[in-house]
Amino acid sequence: MRFAPSPTGHLHIGGARTALFNWLFARHHGGAFILRIEDTDRSRSTDETITSIVDALGWLGLDWDEGPPAPGYRQTERMDLYRAHAARLLAAGRAYYCDCPPEMLERERQEAERRKETFRYSGRCRGRGLTMGALRLRIPAEGATVVNDLIHGPVTFEHRQLDDWILVRTDGTPTYNFCVVVDDVTMRITHVIRGNDHLSNTPKQILCYEALDYLVPEFAHVSMILGADRRRLSKRHGATSVQAFREAGILPEAMVNYLARLGWAHGDQEVFSREDLVELFDIKHVGASGAVFDQAKLEWLSQEYVKRLPAADLARRLGPFLAAAGLVPRETPGWLEGVVETLRERAKTLVEMVERGRFYFERPAGYDPKPAPKFLTAEGARRLRLLAERLAADRVFTAASIEAVYRGLIEALGLTLVDLAQLTRLAVTGTTASPPIFDVLALLGREETVARLATARAVAEAVR
């Protein structure tokens, strides 16, 4: 199996799903997974985008058995191989040179469009015996080529619908379709899983395999990923690259799980471990119709993994997102793990976890204007003073000891717990929505808690 991206931009999630299906197929059957870089488009391919693609695959955990950084896995490093195969086709009479000017071919293409016909090269150079020009594959004039697709079943292409496509351009550079055939053969690829936008290329490639007297691999063409409007997913639908979802704080396990379920199913199961996917994946269970991308479903899965990851692992992954937000965690051992434990139930992404937990790292810049008038009153100031006094005297300052302080004060004042809890939330976080308040205060610590209560008390007294 192979994944062969063109390094002309960040890895699209459609490409990532193709890579995943190939990786799962290889791992399920005990085969090899090869990463190949198709960089013959020199005007658009860059080392930076290759690095970006490699990083994205690494983030997803799709390791390869063969590929970069080893030499020989970029098409620009394999030109001698393409030239040798082109010479074989020419010597066998399966290819010929064509010197038709591009301007003439473009006029013929436009005329075909006006007639609402598919343009097909006329073959005028077939019998001219030229020794220079673009090299074209000689397509049989009669018959048909059948693509026995593992997803779509047999798809027939009449040869009269195909033209003698170019193998090598006039400047000596090989074309995509030719490079793919040579690469797949020489890398011993037995199965090709790719997007169904390549299906129209497949009969051309099969005829090239046959002209070279090579075995033809099996093909499976995966449906496109669609937006909610059922049009092909693109930037108009929002984020589409793996990098964008990574930067948004989606967990890679969730991304892999979600991409696997885009077009493939195993009963009603939604959450799969990587081991589950390797064991259960079967290309025959991939649907032929387009799969609609659902951002909400991806975020739901991400939240499931946020809940399940060990706290230490989650804290480690949160680190770069805290740094990006300019937040510095305490160096106290286990402190950040305690923070993520309080946030994991409500956060769908690591970015959301940072925003929800910002109050742990910095004092609130203000107070939510909707509940503030209700709590920051003269009575609120009195309660904040009493709370601060009792909490300052708590030398243990654990969630349990803090709760005992609150229970004692509400009994003394004849209040309910929610009266003091919501007032405290507003004082220490700036809002009345937070994780369990006793856990929050224990993580903030006695001094920080008392200081924040004092600040809120001053605001409440100033309101009078």
For 414, other C-beta atoms within 10 Å of its C-beta total 7
User: Residue 457: what residue type?
Assistant: R
d(CA 186, CA 266): 34
Q: Which two tokens stand for residue 274?
A: 């990587």
Q: What is the largest CA-CA distance in the chain?
A: 105
Listed residue (149, 197, 177) closest to 15, CA to CA: 197
Listed residue (248, 222, 225) closest to 237, CA to CA: 225
Contact 225, 17 (CB under 8 A): yes
Cα–Cα distances in Å, from 116 out to 143, 159, 280, 296, 327? 24, 19, 46, 42, 61
Contact 376, 451 (CB under 8 A): no
Q: Which entry of 116, 235, 348, 370 is annotated as an active-site residue?
A: 235
d(CA 149, CA 284): 10
**Is 204 part of the annotated catalytic residue set?**
no
Secondary structure class of 439 (helix, strand, coil): helix
SS3 per residue for 185-214: HHCCCCEEEEEHHHHHHHHHHHHHHHHCCC
d(CA 439, CA 443): 6
User: Residue 428: what residue type?
Assistant: V
d(CA 462, CA 464): 5
User: Residue 251: what residue type?
Assistant: L
- Catalytically active residues, by annotation: 235
